[in-house]
Structure 1
């Protein structure tokens, strides 16, 4: 059976979306910042099957036991409730089966569940959704670094950056916005509050988090944020240097004009 996770937007308007689900005859249940929907559907062989959908307010969805075509239809239904949608959705998929013990077989990319407990699936869904959200952050930071990677090399080769003050200011603004966006949303990647009241389910979350290498990827993300911080400092210093140089030239010109005026007045008697 299939288990998949998507990130399609920065956030969802979850209240309006829950009202939409009720008009569709569904019974959404809230678990803190997550909506759960239990859905019966037909499989490819014509038999009946049950699937679970978890909608996370921070723009992610996790499906249990749906076909890819069904998932994409549910993703499409969510479009009107997206806030700051992504140009292209981020997607990850694996498989799950039922067995005697809940575990994850990383070699076969397979999740094994010992029961159909919705809260076990939700616990793992937290880790799976964080993984696709982390993908968005990683891609965004990588694009930002690629767009500015030539600036340190240019500064080392020429001693200055060949950009106008306006362009430098725009680069600084983009870097600051990127770093600020990640920092503001960093709590998304923390252990969810859901487990404060349900500690016995937390090991399932950590199982999924370890499966998706969340901790290692967070360390890499933080190092890349440090790179952005360094680039921000480089551009800020360059902007300060350009401003200081301009002030120095203004002072020099004022001194020169004062000297010229003095010569014209005292020696040439023009005034």
Structure 2
């Protein structure tokens, strides 16, 4: 749907940085000083190689680096059946499912080799650079100056969240669509194709500087485990679910944006009482989904059992501006609620006036009937 706005976060268009700390770094004074804000200026990036890579990574590199994508496809998944599905694909797709509260994790490969493919390498042409001083001093913008290993690992992993979001690491677009077709049988309240929300990132491995997210590129250490990617995936999944709420609010605003102008010009409400009450009900459902679906807004249960992962999750969540977006959503929903409350009161007032006129009319009819009855009685006397 061409009119869709997509995730309403500034990091889609602005150059912002978020470092991904280790647990030790998070509790150190250095991290407290440099890691608590989302940076908007490249000079804050430590290390010349890190800064140069951040400046040069752009659209032309997305087709070369492994993908990280999140799809919001439905209201929820049938998690028990989905887990059994992964277990049944141990031999054919090298699945090794693990369940973490609201998430099922598993490697999942479409390669037909006998050995598991998690950790295989992908060739990234013309992106290998070993820190040559002459190239750094040239300040050129060629791909060869990026500090990326030429062979990047393909994790080929899926993270399925019970609130209807799947995050996939290391797949091609064709493989992602293939998996979505397999996933469809486990969806509850499936979204229409035009309503499916999507977040897209790329990742790469580097040992030259601290892991980070910049311009939707995720830099990881080679030693990072799937638990690190699970922490990041939690934040990405929440972000894409919030994108669905943002789109629903946008549609509601578009549907109602002409009402105040119409009232100002005509002094009348053009909606029926039933339409207003339906809109009020939909608004309450949306508000409940935004604020009461704990797995979407709160820290996952995993962060309580694995506290060393919480700094990574918090950093990714901050980069995706989840708290700010939820606050903005609630403000916009509140404005819509005020409009609907005014319409409801006006309709109720109009309805009460109608009832009063009907009562007056009925009383008038009764009086007329009584007078006619008395007049007839007099004539018959």
Structure 1 length-normalised TM: 0.89
Quote the residue 2:80 is aligned against.
15
Instruction: Give the Cα separation in 2 of the matches to 1:270 and 1:197.
Output: 95
Q: Do residues 66 (structure 1) and 131 (structure 2) align?
A: no
Could you tell me how far apart the structure 2 residues matched to 1:187 and 1:94 are?
Answer: 22
Distance (whole Å) between structure 2 residues aligned to residue 168 and residue 204 of structure 1: 44
Q: Residue 225 of structure 1: CA displacement?
A: 1.4
Alignment pair present for 1:213 and 2:321: yes
- Whether contact under 8 Å (2:72, 2:241) holds in the other structure is yes
Q: Does residue 5 in structure 1 map to residue 70 in structure 2?
A: yes
Q: Does 1:37 align with 2:106?
A: yes
Distance 1:187 1:226, change over 3 A: farther
Secondary structure of 2:271's partner? coil
1:110/1:145 CA distance change after superposition, 3 Å: same
Q: How does 1:1-271 map to 2 (within 5 A)?
A: 1-25=66-90, 26-39=95-108, 40-41=116-117, 49-88=154-193, 89-100=196-207, 101-107=209-215, 109-114=216-221, 115-185=223-293, 187-266=295-374, 269=378
SS of the residue 1:78 aligns to? helix
Counterpart secondary structure, 1:10: strand
Q: Distance in 1 between matches of 2:379 and 2:181?
A: 81
Query: In the alignment, is the contact (CA less than 8 A) between 2:303 and 2:310 conserved in 1?
Result: yes
Q: What is the rounded CA distance, in whole Å, between the counterparts of 1:69 and 1:104 in structure 2?
A: 28
**Secondary structure class of the residue paired with 1:191:** coil
Q: Are the equivalent residues in 2 in contact too, given 1:160–1:238 (CA < 8 A)?
A: no
Is contact 2:122–2:154 with CA below 8 Å preserved after alignment?
Answer: no
Q: Please list the CA deviations of residues 130-167 of structure 1 after superposition, one character each: whole Å capped at 9, or x if unmatched.
A: 11111111001111121122222222322221233333
Cα offset, 1:76, TM superposition: 1.3
Normalised TM-score (structure 2): 0.65
Q: Distance in 1 between matches of 2:197 and 2:290?
A: 17
For 1:106 and 1:15, the matched residues in 2 are separated by 36
Higher Rg = 2
Cα distance between partner residues in 2 of 1:167 and 1:112: 49
Hey, what's the Cα distance between the residues in 2 that align with 1:264 and 1:238?
A: 39
| Greater share of residues in strand | 1
CA contact (8 A) 1:90 1:135 kept: yes
- In 2, Cα distance between the equivalents of 1:157 and 1:187? 45
Aligned residue pairs total 269
**In 1, distance between residues paired with 2:166 and 2:295?**
18
Root-mean-square deviation (Å)? 2.4
> CA separation of 1:152/1:49 partners in 2, compared to 1, >3 Å: closer, same or farther?
closer
**Structure 1 50/221 Cα, relative in aligned 2: closer, same or farther at 3 Å?**
same
Q: Distance in 1 between matches of 2:283 and 2:296?
A: 21
